[in-house]
Each structure stands twice: as structure tokens, then as C-alpha cells.
Amino acid sequence: MILNGIGLKQILAISKKSLSIPHRYPQILHQFLLRLKMPNDTRAPFPSSAMIEPIARCNLKCPECPVGRGELKRSGIMKLEEFQAIWKSFQGKIAHVLLFNQGEPFMVQSLDQMIRECTKTKTYSITSTNAILLHKNNWAERLVDCGLNELIVSIDGITQTTFEQYRVGGRLETAIQGIQQIRKIRDASKKKYPILTMQMLLSKVNEAEWIDAIQFSKKIGCDGIVYKTMQLDRVEDPNSKIFLPSNPKLWRYIEKPDGTIVLRRKWKGCSRLWWHPVIHSDGELVPCCFDKNSEYSYGNVLKEGFTNVWNNSNAQLFRKAFLNSPKPPFKMCENCTEGLWAVELLPHQLKKYL
């Protein structure tokens, strides 16, 4: 059984994942339903979700991140008024919003006010952080109060030694302190949100910790844990491979006999361009989060307005390249998660891999 490139096995995997993460059920189901309808037009309907980047700077220097390596061409912060102007186009029309992309959102002091705008329109909001700044600036109170639905905390090691090997410059103790503060305030105020999800990027340094990490996530106050397979930003660079786990089953790649690595995926097209816009902190509307430096920008929503850009000639020309394309039409698509199922794994799924 194949529906829009999705096999029965994948449908079952999605259903199981939905049931295991009940708070994400509406989103997962929503994305699944959207994929049933294969886009065949360069014009896209109004999107169902969006990613809006509050900032393109970071306090850490993670080696596989273009921000950490200083390769991102923008470095600005989105002003609250700019966010509000963008949000006017989306409010009440989209199901969920991701308030992160490149950069560390908790370096933006108006982040809670941005989230509050989303809460007002009952839009499910998610942000993601390296957790290093959470213990400062009353973030715990402010986050519980503003109504954020989910906070993903990147904890890539359960000891300082493993943690800092990827999160270069980060203190694990500081991250834990911030998470515990949020949990304490959330529980004391008898609120359900934000749901705290610990995300562990599987690498060579932490692969032996994955089982202990389940207990660890509970101990530090998280509601659950999800493992992420590592994306190599420079897949062609043999030095990047040093981060990959020694067990290749934990890779999203396969190694070819000549030593090059490619994604463990059969190309089935990209539907994301039709339902999930990504807006950079400077207002550039790009096809997806893989367009790190706005190379394929459709236009600027702060200057032209979202609805004028979403289906303009640049957007339609870009989508056209994907219609019936037998292979990824752009270089960035060769290393992307679209159509790839080994990206986020729950403990029971990871166990099956090993």
C-alpha cells in the first residue's frame, strides 16, 4: 500500500509515534494527512504550520552547526514588532508554530511575548534550546506564564565530559538547573505546559549513555526523551564522520564502498514546500530550514507581507523543480530529512535499531 510515497510500514510507524507522544498527536496526524495529498501545482494553499526564527546567533560553538562555526551570513535578532507583524498573517490560521531554527532563542528577551501572541490564538508553540540560559532572567516563571506548549532541551551527554564534547562551551549543571526550575514552577502552578522534552543527539561520545539517559531525563525534570540521529552539515568532509556513533545502525547515512556517505533514504519528493514556510530572523522566507543562508529565498515578508511572497514567482519556480523530479533537484536536498524516517527516535524505537 503506497499513499503519496508513504508505505504501510511508515504509516504504522507514524501511528505508533503519535500514540507514544500524545501531546504531539495533532501535529503528527496533521502532517500525515497533508502528505496524502500529493502537490501537483506550483501554487501552495495557506500553510498549516510555520517555523519562525527569533535569532540567528548562539552562545555555544557546536561543531556541526553553521552558527557555531561562524558560517551563517546573518546574525540578527527579530524584533517583537517584526514578529507581531508577521504573526498577523498567521494567527488563527495555522495549527502549530516552531519558534526556533538557527541560533539560541533564549538570547531573545522578548521570546515570551512572541509566545504569548501564539497562545492568544491557540496555536501550539514549540521552541528548542541548548538550555544554558534557562536559569537566568526568570525564564522559568515567564515560560510557564506565557503558555509555551513544548520546550525541547538539547542534552547531548549525561556527564559534563560527554555533554561538552558537542555542546562546546556549555555546562551541564547550568542546563539542569534551568530545566528543574521550569518543572518546579510548572508543577507548583498545576499547569500542563510547557511539556519538557529532552533531546539527545546520538554521537560517538554519548552512544553508550542512551539507556541511562532515560532515567536521567526523568531525574532532571523532563517529561520524555527523544533521540535524534546526527546530521552532518558537511557530509562530503571525511572529518565530519568523527562525530557519528561507532554503531552505523544509529546513522541516518550509509557508507558506500568508496568511503563516501549518503542518506539512508529513497527520494520520494518533497511536500514540505507546500505546507511549512520557514522565516529567517531578517524576514527572508525560505523553502525550508536547510536553506541556511537564504540562498533560495522567495522574498522578504517584513517588506512585502507573507501572502504576497508565499506564492510569488520565486516560490512557484522553486516548487516547480520538485514536480515529478526523480531525484533531489538541489544540492541541499541531498542531505535533508524529507522522507527520512530515522530522524527522531523514541526509546523503544532505538532499542529496535540496536
- Residue numbers of the site for ligand SF4 (CB under 6 A)? 270, 272-273, 287-288, 290, 328, 330, 332-333, 336, 338
CA distance 49 to 275: 7
Residue 200 bridge partners (DSSP): 227
Nearer of residues 134 and 270 to ligand SF4, judged by Cβ: 270
Nearer of residues 225 and 270 to ligand SF4, judged by Cβ: 270
Helix or strand holding residue 66 (H, E): none
Report in angstroms the alpha-carbon separations of 11 from 21, 228, 327.
15, 20, 23
Q: How far is the CB of 273 from ligand SF4 (least distance, A)?
A: 6
Nearer of residues 196 and 230 to ligand SF4, judged by Cβ: 230
Report in angstroms the alpha-carbon separations of 163 from 209, 216, 260, 284, 293.
11, 13, 28, 33, 28
CA distance 347 to 344: 10
Q: How far is the CB of 69 from ligand SF4 (least distance, A)?
A: 19
For the chain, the residue count is 354
Q: How far is the CB of 132 from ligand SF4 (least distance, A)?
A: 29
Nearer of residues 61 and 268 to ligand SF4, judged by Cβ: 268
CA 189 from centroid of its chain's CA atoms: 28
Nearer of residues 34 and 115 to ligand SF4, judged by Cβ: 34
Nearer of residues 261 and 333 to ligand SF4, judged by Cβ: 333
Q: How far is the CB of 333 from ligand SF4 (least distance, A)?
A: 3
Q: How far is the CB of 277 from ligand SF4 (least distance, A)?
A: 11
Q: How far is the CB of 346 from ligand SF4 (least distance, A)?
A: 23
Residue 327 exposed, middle or buried by CB count within 10 Å (0-12, 13-18, 19+): exposed
